[in-house]
Amino acid sequence: EDQVTQSPEALRLQEGESSSLNCSYTVSGLRGLFWYRQDPGKGPEFLFTLYSAGEEKEKERLKATLTKKESFLHITAPKPEDSATYLCAGLGPSNTGKLIFGQGTTLQVKP
Amino acid sequence: DTAVSQTPKYLVTQMGNDKSIKCEQNLGHDTMYWYKQDSKKFLKIMFSYNNKELIINETVPNRFSPKSPDKAHLNLHINSLELGDSAVYFCASSGRGASYEQYFGPGTRLTVT
């Protein structure tokens, strides 16, 4: 069964303390790995799509990387405004666009 | 301009009632989705329509019935509501091509009492 698992479930950082979020996947024929940010009371906001192992994408303090088994979201020198739940999702081989989401990592950055 | 909008934002109702949630997107996308997010924030696909055709129909009670009058609108009707239906329901849309980047609405928080 296709599955996406994120760790840790929750992460507390001090402002400026860099860290990484992990997303492990077992999705047959993975066509893409997606990262989303979700703020409380809002819908997920698209961040990145990674399509092949070795690919990296960056946006401000965030960098996403992909291997054949997992993806990492690296957060460099985070700020309190980076506090949110980060979701990753795998796209399987079908043409339906079905995303399989992980349970998310809730990040809290303290000033 | 809101890209993907949902109404209502909050819905509180009693067990056994029937309710509907509406979704509209102005992104020109061909595919729309309904997701359910439980209290642990786990997001799970329920349905998807591509150009008014149902293409994803997950294991969901048949009390849930989606309808897409056109490719910009996707509604979700729920019959005989149960306590376990309480959750946040998100609508999303994606455009053509292989990217499948999905853009989500603000969600509808459904509370069944």
**Sole residue written with tokens 């760790």:** A7
**Nearest CA distance, A22 vs chain B (angstrom):** 16
User: Quick one: average pLDDT of A31-52?
Assistant: 95
The domains of chain B, with CATH numbers, are: 4-112 (2.60.40.10)
What gap in Å lies between CA A53 and CA A50, rounded to an integer? 8
Percent of chain A with pLDDT over 90: 87
Pairing of strands A62-66, A70-75: antiparallel
Strands of chain A, DSSP E: 3-7, 10-14, 19-26, 32-38, 45-50, 56-59, 62-66, 70-75, 84-91, 99-101, 105-110
Mutation pick from A6, A23, A101 vs chain B, by most beta carbons of B within 10 Å, is: A101
Is the minimum CB–CB distance between A41 and chain B shorter than 8 Å? yes
Question: Quick one: pLDDT band at residue B1, thresholds 50, 70, 90?
Answer: low
Task: Kindly identify which residue of chain B lies nearest to residue A93, measuring between CA atoms.
Answer: B98
Q: What is the pLDDT of residues A53-104, one digit of tens each?
A: 999 999 999 999 999 999 999 999 999 999 999 999 999 888 788 899 999 9
Confidence (pLDDT) at A57: 96
Is the minimum CB–CB distance between A98 and chain B shorter than 8 Å? yes
Percent of chain B with pLDDT over 90: 78
Hey, what amino acid is at B42? F
Residue with more model confidence, B32 or A1: B32
Q: Is the peptide bond before A8 cis (omega within 30 degrees of 0)?
A: yes
Q: What is the pLDDT of residues B64-113, one digit of tens each?
A: 999 999 999 999 999 999 999 999 999 999 986 657 899 999 999 999 99
Q: What is the CATH number of domain A3-110?
A: 2.60.40.10
Q: Is A98 in Cβ contact with B102 (below 8 Å)?
A: no
User: Quick one: average pLDDT of B51-72?
Assistant: 91
Q: Tokens for A33?
A: 């790995």
Q: How many CB pairs under 8 A join A and B?
A: 61
**Nearest CA distance, A48 vs chain B (angstrom):** 9
DSSP A52: S
Query: Which of B42, B56, B102 lies closest to A103 in CB terms?
Result: B42
